[in-house]
Homo-oligomer: A and B are copies of this chain.
Amino acid sequence: MVFVNAEVSPRPRRNSAAQLLEAVSQILTERNSTEVSLSDVAAASNLNAALVKYHFRNKEGLLLALVRRDAETALAQLNSLVEMPLAPEQKIRIHVSGIINTYARHPYLNRLLHELLESKDEAVVRELNAFFVKPLATAQAALLRQGVEAGAFREVAPMHFYLAITGACDQFFYSAKSLKYAFGVPEIADGMREAYAEFVADMAIKALRKG
């Protein structure tokens, strides 16, 4: 929880926004769902549902802010990775694990991203792309360029790489029911996620290697 402003004031304390986000995050994690009502969030956070409107306008605004909160941590790590003195292949491997670990840490995040990218409110779609997809794509493009400059990677279209790798990572989380019914895997066991991350990282690196 982030205590942005602890002083007592007649306006809602600014940390009530962080409390609401933490409450909705916990509810969605427990339910393994993206369905939640404003009164659920109010009850779990001991705050008034009117505060949601004050901070986030409506439920979609609250969910968008939750994605922003979770994405900020992941994007900060990715931007540090770009600056690290590591071999280009090693950075791609860490990046792929980072995507998969971010989805694993916030079980609702993958579904929520998809739902908000489908929002009927075009402003929501634009905002989500601006604070999440574009910075992610920009950092990825930097990783690709570093590899090309080091003589390790061939030139590929960053958009192709983005679509293929995020699509491959997404599918693991999106397809739990298919793993169950089509592959006979009733639930994600220890090590399955790591094994898949390794497969995708290997695939990404081979797609980038010269020759």
Contacts and interface: CB of A to CB of B under 8 A. Distances in A.
Interface of A: 114, 117, 125-126, 129-130, 133-134, 137, 156-157, 159-160, 162-172, 174-175, 177-183, 185, 195-196, 199-200, 202-204, 206-207, 209
A173 to B, nearest CB: 10
A4 to B, nearest CB: 28
Overall SS of chain A's interface: helix
Contact of A117 (B133, B177, B185, B204): B177
A203 B164 contact: yes
B126 A181 contact: yes
B174 A114 contact: yes
A117 B178 contact: yes
B163 A171 contact: yes
A122 to B, nearest CB: 9
A2 to B, nearest CB: 27
Q: How many copies does the complex hold?
A: 2
A133 B167 contact: no
A125 B181 contact: yes
Contacts of A170: 167, 170-171
A196 B160 contact: yes
14 contacts: A114-B114, A117-B177, A117-B178, A129-B178, A129-B180, A130-B181, A133-B182, A162-B183, A163-B172, A164-B199, A167-B169, A167-B170, A203-B203, A203-B206
Nearest to A136: B182
Nearest to A156: B199
B207 A164 contact: no
Most buried by B among A157, A160, A162: A160
A163 B196 contact: yes
